[in-house]
Amino acid sequence: MKEARVIAEIGCNHKGDMEIAKELIQMAKVFCKADIVKFQKRSNKELLTQEQYDAPHPNPMHSYGETYGEHREFLEFSVEQHKELQDYCNEIGIEYSTSVWDLTSAKEVASLKPQLIKIPSACNNNFEMLEWLAKNYQGEIHVSTGMTTKDEIEDLIQFFIKHDRNKDLVVYNCTSGYPVPFEDICLLEIRTLIDKYANKVKEIGFSGHHLGIAVDIAAYTLGATYIERHYTLDRTWKGTDHSASLEPDGLRRLCRDLKAVNKALTYKNKDILDIEQVQRDKLKYRK
């Protein structure tokens, strides 16, 4: 079975601080041994209405500004800063990626030519952005399917087939909630995606917003080959995503356990393995 690739989603958990962002990258690579780190890119004036931009943050204790717009701008890195983070990833040997929330951000991130760009569940029906990426960006396009109907998923797949980009598409099972209770994760939807689309898209992934790491192991055994988890240095930090994120030791254990499970997911190559033969000779009942 193909080894899982683990995406440590930093998102905005860097708190708008480049040094924290780089520490998260280094920890993900050196301590956790993740494969990919992922940030987020928004053009807030494009994404939000003026009313939304000027409104107070719905959860003021987590706000980094007087309004929701100011909060989002505080957490936003420029494309030049993203290039600096990409260069740092290349320097230490971990893959850089970013989720894009609007057309402007998609164009900016695509200019950096990362190997993959992620489309969040909230934006998987922004066909103007998806069409621009399909026509202008040559890397993998990863798309989450939280808060998305099965008909909308079908429309999404057909869109990429129409643009001859479906073989560059990775589709993620996802439930949009922070955190998601276990009964709402609906892991068996991974099998639904595989049964319907495995021969049409590149791979199937799992993006989790739950607690712990047991579910991710199950997602991998069900066939998800990309495992994405939010990741932070401290779950008590200010910001709405931290509480649904893994701290470094949790991410480290997830990466370790996925590698162990990958080794275990095999068939016997003969009836009695060499390791068993010693025990058979010593312990097996003899008539």
Q: Which residue has the higher pLDDT, 121 or 286?
A: 121
Residue 66: what pLDDT?
A: 93
135, 157 in Cβ contact below 8 A? no
Residue 65: what pLDDT?
A: 92
- 211-232 pLDDT, tens digit per residue, is 999 999 999 999 999 999 999 9
Residue 243: what pLDDT?
A: 83
The rounded distance, in Å, linking the Cα atoms of 44 and 104 is 10
> If you average pLDDT over residues 175-197, what whole number do you get?
96
Residue 1: what pLDDT?
A: 84
What pLDDT band is residue 241 in, cutting at 50, 70 and 90? confident
> If you average pLDDT over residues 175-198, what whole number do you get?
96
Residue 131: what pLDDT?
A: 98
Integer angstrom CA distances of residue 16 from 19, 47, 74:
9, 19, 6
Q: What tokens were used for 70?
A: 């100011």
Residue 37: what pLDDT?
A: 98
Q: What residue numbers bound the domain in which 204 lies?
A: 5-283
What pLDDT band is residue 183 in, cutting at 50, 70 and 90? very high
Residue 240: what pLDDT?
A: 83
- 14-53 pLDDT, tens digit per residue, is 999 999 999 999 999 999 999 999 999 999 999 999 999 9
> If you average pLDDT over residues 40-69, what whole number do you get?
93
The rounded distance, in Å, linking the Cα atoms of 284 and 287 is 10
| The one-letter amino acid at 238 | K
* Lookup result for tokens 């066909």: 127
Residue 227: what pLDDT?
A: 98
In terms of pTM, does the model score above 0.85? yes
Q: Looking at residue 70, which CATH number applies to its domain? A: 3.20.20.70
Residue 244: what pLDDT?
A: 87
The count of structural domains within the chain is 1
Cis amide linkage into residue 179, ω under 30° from 0: yes
Residue 159: what pLDDT?
A: 98
| The one-letter amino acid at 132 | W
Phi, psi of 232 (to 5 degrees): -145, 165
Residue 178: what pLDDT?
A: 86
Q: Residue 220: left (phi > 0), alpha (psi -120 to 50), or beta?
A: alpha
